[in-house]
Structure 1
Amino acid sequence: MKINLNSLSGLLFFAILLITGCKPNSSTQETDLPTGFILQESDLPDYEKDIDHRELLTALDDRSDESIRTGEHIYNNTCFNCHGNPDQEGSMPNAFKFWEGEFKVGKDPYSIYQTLTRGYGSMPPQVSLTPTEKYDLINYLRETFIREKNPGQFVEIDSTYLASLPMGSTTGPAPKEFKPWAEMDYGNFLINTYELVGLNAPERERSSGPSPLPDENLIKANFAYKGIAVRLDQGKGGVAAGKAWMMFDHDLMRVAGALTGEGFIDWEAILFNGKHNISPRTVGDLHFSNPVAPAWANPSTGKFDDPRFQARDGRKFGPLSREWAQYKGLYQFRDRVIIFYTVGSAKVLETFGLETLENQPIFTRTLNISPSVKPLKMRIAPKGTAVGLVGEGAVLKEESGFLVMETSPSRPIKVKILIGKSGIKGLSQYAKTTTPPESLESLTTGGPSRYPQKLTSEVQSGTQEGPFQVDIMNPPFDSPWKNQFRLSGIDFFKDPNKGVICSTDGDVWMVEGFTKNSGNLTWQRIASGMFQPLGIKVVNEEIFVTCRDQLVKLHDFNGDRETDYYEAFNSDHLVTDHFHEFAMGLQTDKEGNFYYAKSARHAREALVPQHGTLIKVSKDGQKTEIIATGFRAANGVCINPDGTFIVTDQEGHWNPMNRINWVKKGGFYGNMFGFNPPKDSTEKGMEQPLVWVERDRDQSPSELLWVDSKKWGALNGKLLNLSYGYGKVFVVPFEKVGSQVQGGIFELPIPRFSTGVMRGRFNPGDGQLYLCGLSAWGSTQPQLGGLYRIRKVDQPMVIPVGIQATKTGITLTFTDNLDATSVQDTSHFRVKIWDLLRSRKYGSKHHNEQILQVTKAELSPDKKTIKLTIPNIKPTWGMEIQYHIKDDQGVLREGLVQNTIHQLGEVTTR
């Protein structure tokens, strides 16, 4: 699969540099570079083939200080997340340590440049860096970490070395700061977790040290954990291009604050600029703010006391009770946002606006409140803030240091609240002249299209040899809204030519052209501004999206397909400020209940019960239940035919390697940093995975799915695993011994995709597999997002789809007939096993590696099943079975099955 670099122009820079160690080449310049690069020379831009490396390295003498400052900036803002420094371990402890490791590809500057440019192993190619920036980064690494701390890896740049470099005529394009996350038009609102701070804000407190990291003291920080940032000023470009904003927190039905300024937020977040362990902060002038507490008094008691779940660090999380107040959703009308929620028995519609008084901004809140059984009270702002009230049925009061609005019961109310900075003069008089509060009902039935353009993209049909062909269906990267298209979920309607795709940047797209094979796809943006969508499901032709803050149901009222109402179908999510707690995947069972997985905090102990869990939401959205616990980074959900689940997990603390888990209700899956873990931290205290996935096979498994297509022949009904880390697809042969499911993975014979692969669905129309993916946190693949189709063609597969571990050996069952003579040669098989060490440390190296002798290999009468006799077979964390045999047509078939054995079954006859 050739990677189209034209589609990489919007690539985020994630300098993950996961270079693992090995012995260095003894020569000064590594002229015999490895062949395992991710990008081939033909994939590179033309200028890379004509770079004057001698000039770039020589120029470092004249700009040494500037170069090192630039390299330090690049390292600290991107690379440090994973690599850390000699004093502080990075978030991925297995990442290469420049101050002590040994380069795998080459230690001289030119070799390191090649690795940065083309990618190698776990390191993605850094296509967004210019040649000058690459050498700035290399210069910083050499002078800061390598020269003194790791001198064996330092190569002097002398005249002999410079003379050995390839000659060229260009130094490439000039460096340019690239911030696609800040340039995208998200629409006029964007939901995220925000920390509200004013000008001259204090530095963030960020803990460090061994894992688990201690909790920071954030009890006084003003986080809108489910913050709806709404742009108030007019203009193009959406919320990111605004100059005035209101921030609404839908956990507490509070206005967290109002801001103005030349910048929206600092974009410090893993899915913005790639930073770990951080949430975005506001950067403008904070005109007023309210603390993290209920905005409306409890209708039953008239008190503002916060009864929500209190975490270990003293903070409270989650929504208020439904009886108190409940967020119902968000209407969009042109660029206006109307928020719908309830307080007790009353329904509230609220919208925000911006007016001016003597060139000073006045923020407005217009509320339509239906009749309530009891009087209602709402905190508007702290005492001293300038506040005015327009309308009837409500009055302003002071209570416990706040300006409070109190409403009359048993009557509909329309009010407009005016809020300005403390010290603004004349607001009372201005309130008499401003427009009266408007009726908002007319804004809730749908408005004109906000994104009327329909975009097209070309389908590149695959012509690969073998049983599978891969069609590249890249999205329209040149969209007018500068979308990043980091695709994170896909599903189809009853019309299989039409589907929906979500992106983690907040969008949902209606896509047509899947089955008509016209050579093009049509893309229509139908929703935007949502909080990190990572799963989507069509249920009875209705669209549901998993977001970090809620399960959203999309409604189109006027037939233009665009979302007019973002219904909060379920918002029981317990959201904290931690960057790692993604809400992943979306599936439904036969009864219509919904399921998604919630990741835990990275390198920290859980704060809320939902951290690291599989979650069930009832069919009507009214109930949330935790099904299983103990996950670290659970990337999606698969529902099995028997009603159980499969959830993957990633290598890390308490996870010595990646896991594929066959999940039982009530099970605990190993992460002792999860919420309320069992006292037994040994392997006996957790459920064992189906397989421990070796990092060389897959750095980061994502979602699994069952093949549901007769066109896929012998693979129909089999299990597939998708690879976010390496952009692969695996078959998962497995067995059940007693109550334990165990098995392995086998990579499909297709090239790596240019993104990590997140989600897949079989299209009921053409019976083929459609995949979408992205590259953001920790993927090795270079492209931001992608859409693909895998077509099964009429060629033999010869893929292992069955595995049994018995007391005498291993049995492998293939999709196609094999050659008996080839199979009987035991030298055609190599079996290796190893142990792992599970601990609070990040990951594990191999322990007790052994080669097991295969003393006999025989082909069963069905001609598809190989029985390997292995006298020393035993349960093992990891096993690799390599083979090179022939099929019944004499074609050589080489492959590797990587598996786990928990129990040895009895020998059966076939």
Structure 2
Amino acid sequence: MNKPISFFQALLLFLFLFGCNPNPKNQEIESPTGFILKESDLPEYERDIDHKGLLTALGDRHDESIRTGEHIYNNICFNCHGNQEQVGSIPTAFKFWEDTFKVGKDPYSIYQTLTRGYGSMPPQVNLTPVEKYDIINYLRETYLQKDSSERYFEIDSTYLGGLPTGTTTGPAPKEFKPWAEMDYGNFLINTYELVGLNAPERERSSGPSPLPDENLINANYAYKGIAVRLDSGEGGVAAGNAWMMFDHDLMRVAGAWTGEGFIDWQAILFNGSHNISPRTTGDLHFENPVAPAWANPNTGKFDDPRFTARDKRKFGPLPREWAHYKGLYQYRDRVIISYTVGNAKVLETFGLETLDEQPVLTRTLNISPSEKLLKMRIAPSGTSVALVGEGAVLKNEGGFTVMELVPSSSLKIKILIAKSGMNGLQQYAKTSNPPEDLNLLIKGGPARYPQKLTTLIQQGSQEGPFQIDIMNPPFDSPWKNQFRLSGLDFFKDPNKGVICSTDGDVWMVEGFTKNSGKLSWQRIASGMFQPLGIKVINEEIFVTCRDQIVRLHDFNGDGETDFYESFNNDHQVTDHFHEFAMGLQADEEGNLYYAKSARHAREALVPQHGTLIKVNKDGLNTEIIATGFRAANGVCLNPDGTFIVTDQEGHWNPMNRINWVKKGGFYGNMFGYNPPADSTEAGMEQPLVWVDRERDQSPSELLWVNSKKWGALNGKLLNFSYGYGKVFVVPYETIGEQVQGGIYELPIPRFSTGVMRGRFNPGDEQLYMCGLSAWGSTQPQLGGLYRIRRVDQPMVIPVGIKATTKGIELSFTDELDARSVADTAHFTVKTWDLLRSRKYGSKHYNEQTLSVTKAVLGKDKKSIQLTIPDITPTWGMEIQYRIKDEDGKDLKGLIQNTIHQLGGN
């Protein structure tokens, strides 16, 4: 989209479409015509708009205009207005597919409504003329043109000739960057590349897969970078003008920079860019290379002992006995880093001072006694450095200014750093404030996000066995959150839960079970690195981030996180965009499990790429359980201690996979780390089912039903669809050691986001789900929260499947009509093969329609025996049926499954 809209313009349009009136009583505002603004109230340019030119130009920029209008609708309006399939969160909001425009249905009349406001619709004073006609164009083409009624207005030359003439198209649209306008708090963890004002062009490899590795050995990546804002002001890290970057793999300050813009926002979860990490913007005052900042206490050397990848770069944290990141405290807008060096404990914070109107960057360290001499690289030689405090000296060593500490003493040191050549820094150090006692700042402080936000629950009343409640988050939050929700869990009090978003937040949400019709939202954590899983264990909150598993601590009882404890940071993080850390589950002993994706279209660099990972309950050890995944979106922990991990179509994955995972198993991605020599199907574990892209573009996490209210589905297996916003039942069987089965879509509408995670609430025993649309989903809304309630209606859902040498046996939740089942014309069975290769995905091969020669209803009246003489193992099978339930109600259904082995008769 070449001309996106600004955040404030989008907000104004949201208010218009939302039906909100800032002056609800219309006191002396509404003109006699019904418009809120008189023509004399409008900007001068509105009196000289070339309406004919703007409408005519839509033909030349049709695709761009529709994309712009669609972008506005999907990201700002959809959550309230919905569409024909999904009811919006505000039932009274204008329904573009059926309601009648009050002013007029032609484009100019709709333009006047947008510009001047009408009734309860406020005027869009910040929406440009081009943007108004883009949204009008989208609404006309999407909702009006396809309508058989007379709501659609045909534009012809007579109409165009009658429009007001003018010479201008108004101001140019401004860019819409919600990722850059969000208040993340005063820190944001991510992978960053530090560059200066004259940064070289990014090296981007191309060609057939696997793509070759770029030469990034000299690039300064902070793979686990904590970007901290140094200057004061509102808006968080993105609104600052000065920053320090701390790399918690290496306990180094990677660099510091000043200027406008923070970063360039080039990343898949920022502006949607693939295969790229964000770069710093502005003036880089100093930087340190990708190497340990503290010398090994046992040797006094800075040699990097970490894992060396194929491209010669090193990844992962330093050994714990050398240095270890403990976490991050927050006090007001202050960030205090906690780590150890040897047996010494370190607290460190950053600041900004000035000398002759030039920035002086500060590092304040409180260090407990050490048994051994400690030394730390501060910056390359030539950088201006001075110390405030006692017990440390500066030396030049190996091209760096090194701080050497006196052992066996508690120290408080402040380091002053400025650009090379700054005069007077040593003299300034004599008058700079002494180093703070940081222990005063780690006990909790005032709430940073004191507002509790309230949203309404839209109660569903759909026909059938399930009703859907829409529980949208507060999209109008004061921090401009995007609410791309990626995980949820509940406390012992089932009315309370926690929800994380991939934008870095955790929210405490109340109101799930008290049926007040409202939810209360409190932002309790922010700034974390792409959270994609959350778990409450003994009332403590654990969050899966790309760089670590975080345990949240609230010291003063205000709900907000005062300490982001690094429960485990063994994660091997590279610069690649695709290596998401997905899901979080815990076994009865308290061990944690998550999945880590591999690099897209590239061979793995580190052992953790494409793996299922276990973290011991004490957080001290990480173990790889299984390998060979490409894009493993979450983990399901099975009652027998095994796991289910989904995977996505791509290279070496001819279709999406649902995998019943065994310890030590390899699951097919030959671009993974150290794959087996055998690249055939015999060299990998087979999936439970190959999920066809027509059924689901991208499966996410599975969940066992744990609810008596869900009747015959209690104890059954569900699969969530990130790609299409669906929920599936997974009927399966086990033959020998192979689990095989299929998927059946629940009879509910698609959700407006991709569905990521779900939990059954122990209080009301209903299913709660959250979702997002951020990469590779067809669903339009950025984020959403939903509840599926089981009601007292027959389900008639297939929950069991068996493949035998004679055919297929299907088991249902409810009784069926024998006569309709006996008609073999009511069943269609198709099969196909797939080709697994290094290429992306696979088309269908050897498609066949198998003859069903007999269909018999079982004695329980809930099972069907299909006789299929030509049945054989197959990659893909599709079973369609048209039958009746015991009450004569027509039923249509489709099961898509895989057969690896045929069982006995």
Question: Normalized against structure 2, the TM-score is what?
Answer: 0.84
Picking from 231, 244, 259, the partner of 1:261 is 259
Matched, 1:769 2:773: no
Partner SS for 2:522: strand
> 1:725 maps to what in 2?
723
Q: How many angstroms apart in 2 are the aligned matches of 1:73 and 1:748?
A: 31
Within the alignment, does 1:498 sit opposite 2:499 as a pair?
no
Superposition map of 1:749-764 within 5 A: 749-764=747-762
| CA–CA distance in structure 2, aligned partners of residues 894 and 173 of structure 1 | 54
Deviations 1:19-46 (A, max 9, x none): xxxxxxxxxxxxxxxxxxxxxxxxxxxx
After superposition, the C-alpha distances for 1:715-764 in whole angstroms (9 at most, x for unaligned) are 00000000000000000000001110000000000000000000000000
SS state of the match for residue 554, structure 1?
strand
1:577-588 to structure 2, matched below 5 A, reads 577-588=575-586
CA distance in 1 between counterparts of 2:63 and 2:749 reads 39
**Deviation of 1:359 (Å):** 0.5
Letter in 1 for 2:210: P
Q: Which runs of 5+ in 2 are unaligned?
A: 1-6, 13-49, 72-127, 139-153
Pick the aligned partner of 2:889 from 891, 894, 897.
891
**Residues 295 and 71 from structure 1, CA distance in 2 versus in 1: closer, same or farther, beyond 3 angstroms?**
farther
Q: Give the secondary-structure state (helix, strand or coil) at the position aligned to 1:392.
A: coil
Which residue is 2:549 aligned to?
551
2:697 matched residue in structure 1? 699
Q: Distance in 1 between matches of 2:669 and 2:305?
A: 29
Structure-2 change in CA distance of 1:794 and 1:679 (3 Å): same
Distance (whole Å) between structure 1 residues aligned to residue 9 and residue 732 of structure 2: 38
Distance in 2 of aligned mates of 1:212 and 1:249: 29
State how far apart, in whole Å, the 2-side matches of 1:709 and 1:193 are: 41
Cα distance, 1:59 vs structure 2: 1.9
1:59, 1:717 → 2: CA distance?
Answer: 58
CA distance in 2, matches of 1:230, 1:897: 51
Is 2:291 aligned against 1:293? yes
Aligned partner of residue 709 in structure 2, secondary structure: helix
Residue 192 of structure 2, aligned match among 181, 191, 194: 194
Q: Contact between 2:532 and 2:544, CA under 8 Å: does it hold in 1?
A: yes
1:56 shift after superposition = 5.5
Separation (CA, whole Å) in 1 of partners of 2:861 and 2:160 = 54
Alpha-carbon offset, residue 176 of structure 1? 3.8
Q: Is the aligned partner of 1:905 residue 2:903?
A: yes
Give me the whole-angstrom Cα distance separating, in 2, the residues matched to 1:657 and 1:166. 51
Deviation track 1:633-674 (CA, whole Å, cap 9, x = no partner) reads 000000000000000000011100000000000000000010
* CA displacement 1:537-595 (0-9 Å, x = unmatched): 00000000000000000000000010000000000000000000000000001111000
Question: CA offset at residue 200 of structure 1?
Answer: 1.6
Q: In structure 2, what is the Cα distance between the partners aligned to 1:903 and 1:57?
A: 62
Q: Which amino acid aligns with 1:344?
A: G
| Secondary structure of residue in 2 paired with 1:182 | helix
Q: Residues of 2 paired with 1:10 and 1:629: CA distance?
A: 45
Contact kept? 1:53, 1:167, Cα under 8 Å: no
Tell me, yes or no, if structure 1 residue 645 matches structure 2 residue 643. Answer: yes
Counterpart of 2:787 in structure 1 is 789
Q: Contact 1:333–1:444 (CA<8 Å) still a contact in 2?
A: yes
Residue 263 of structure 1, CA deviation: 1.0
* Counterpart-to-counterpart distance in 2, 1:280 and 1:294: 22
In the aligned structure 1, how far is the partner of 2:158 from the partner of 2:573? 56
Equivalent in the alignment of 2:421: 423
Question: Which residue in 1 is equivalent to 2:741?
Answer: 743
Partner of 2:868: 870
Q: Deviations over 1:188-224 (max 9, x none)?
A: 0000000000002111001111111111110000000
Paired residues for 1:393-472 under 5 Å: 393-472=391-470
Could you say what secondary structure the match of 2:682 adopts? helix
Give, in angstroms, the shift of residue 262 of structure 1.
Answer: 1.1
CA contact (8 A) 1:10 1:180 kept: no
Shift in Å at residue 771 of structure 1? 0.2
Taking a change above 3 Å as real, the CA distance of residues 606 and 366 of structure 1, as seen in their structure-2 partners, is same
Q: Cα distance 1:168–1:845, how it changes in 2: closer, same or farther (>3 A)?
A: farther
Per the alignment, do residues 889 and 399 of structure 1 end up closer, same or farther by CA in structure 2, a change over 3 Å counting?
Answer: same
SS in 1 for 2:493: coil
Asked if structure 2 preserves the Cα contact closer than 8 Å seen for 1:56 and 1:135, the reply is: no
In the alignment, structure 1 residue 854 sits paired with structure 2 residue 877 = no
Is the contact made by 1:631 and 1:671 (CA closer than 8 Å) also made in structure 2? Answer: yes
Does structure 2 conserve the Cα–Cα contact (< 8 Å) formed by 1:8 and 1:784? no
Tell me the secondary structure at the aligned position of residue 837 of structure 2. coil
Asked if the contact 1:54/1:162 (under 8 Å) is kept, the reply is: no
Matched residue, 2:570: 572
Per the alignment, residue 80 of structure 1 pairs with none
Aligned length: 788
After superposition, the Cα gap between the structure-2 partners of 1:780 and 1:169, relative to the gap in structure 1 and judged at 3 Å, is farther
Matched with 1:539 is 537
> 1:72 and 1:735, CA in 2 relative to 1: closer, same or farther beyond 3 A?
closer
Map residues 478-497 of structure 1 onto 2, 5 A cutoff.
Answer: 478-497=476-495
C-alpha distance in 1 between matches for 2:544 and 2:763: 25
Alpha-carbon distance in structure 1 between the residues aligned to 2:162 and 2:711: 52
When structure 1 is superposed on structure 2, of 161-170 and 721-730 the one drifting more is 161-170
Question: Structure 1, residues 378-437: CA drift from partner, whole Å, max 9, x if none?
Answer: 000000000001111110000000000000111101100000000100000000000011
TM-superposed CA distance for 1:356, in Å, is 0.2
Separation in 2, partners of 1:306, 1:456: 50
> Which residue is equivalent to 2:236?
238
Match of 1:817 in 2: 815
Match for 1:323 among 296, 321, 324?
321
Write the letter of the residue equivalent to 2:427. Q
Q: Distance in 1 between matches of 2:715 and 2:336?
A: 46
Give the structure 2 partner of residue 384 of structure 1. 382
Q: Any idea what SS the aligned residue of 2:389 has?
A: strand
**Alpha carbon RMSD of aligned pairs, Å?**
2.9
Q: Does 1:685 align with 2:683?
A: yes
Partner of 1:894, secondary structure, is strand
Structure-2 separation of matches of 1:694 and 1:555: 43
1:58 to partner: Cα distance: 3.0
The residue identity in structure 1 corresponding to 2:190 is N
The Cα offsets for residues 78-128 of structure 1, whole Å up to 9 and x where unpaired, read as xxxxxxxxxxxxxxxxxxxxxxxxxxxxxxxxxxxxxxxxxxxxxxxxxx9
The 1:773/1:167 distance shift into structure 2, 3 A limit, reads farther
CA distance in 1, matches of 2:691, 2:440: 55
Q: Distance in 1 between matches of 2:736 and 2:866?
A: 22
Aligned sequence identity (%): 80
Deviation at 1:177, TM superposition (A): 1.6
- Which residue number in structure 2 is paired with residue 100 of structure 1? none
Compared CA separation, residues 232 and 164, structure 1 to 2 (3 A): same
Question: 1: CA distance between counterparts of 2:66 and 2:176?
Answer: 17
Alignment partners' CA distance in 1, 2:755 and 2:172: 32
**Distance (Å, rounded) in 1 between the aligned partners of 2:58 and 2:701:** 46
- In structure 1, the gaps of 5 or more residues are 1-5, 12-51, 78-127, 138-159
- Is the 1:882–1:897 Cα contact (8 Å) retained in structure 2? yes
Matches within 5 A, 1:64-75: none
Q: How many Å separate the matches in 1 of 2:216 and 2:461?
A: 56
Q: Give me the TM-score of the superposition, normalised by structure 1.
A: 0.84
Separation in 2, partners of 1:173, 1:130: 10
Deviation track 1:489-508 (CA, whole Å, cap 9, x = no partner) reads 00000000000000000000
Structure 1 pair 861/784, CA: closer, same or farther in 2 (3 Å)?
A: same
Partner residue, 1:226? 224
Are the structure 2 counterparts of residues 54 and 902 from structure 1 closer, same or farther at C-alpha, using a change threshold of 3 Å? farther
CA contact (8 A) 2:55 2:133 kept: no
Relative distance call for 1:130 and 1:782 in structure 2 (3 A) is: farther
Give the 3-state SS of the residue equivalent to 2:843 in structure 1: coil
Aligned 8 A contact 1:881 1:898 in 2: yes
Is the Cα–Cα contact under 8 Å of residues 70 and 136 in structure 1 kept in the other structure? Answer: no
- Letter of the structure 1 residue corresponding to residue 333 of structure 2: D
Q: Is the 8 A contact 1:584 1:636 kept in 2?
A: yes
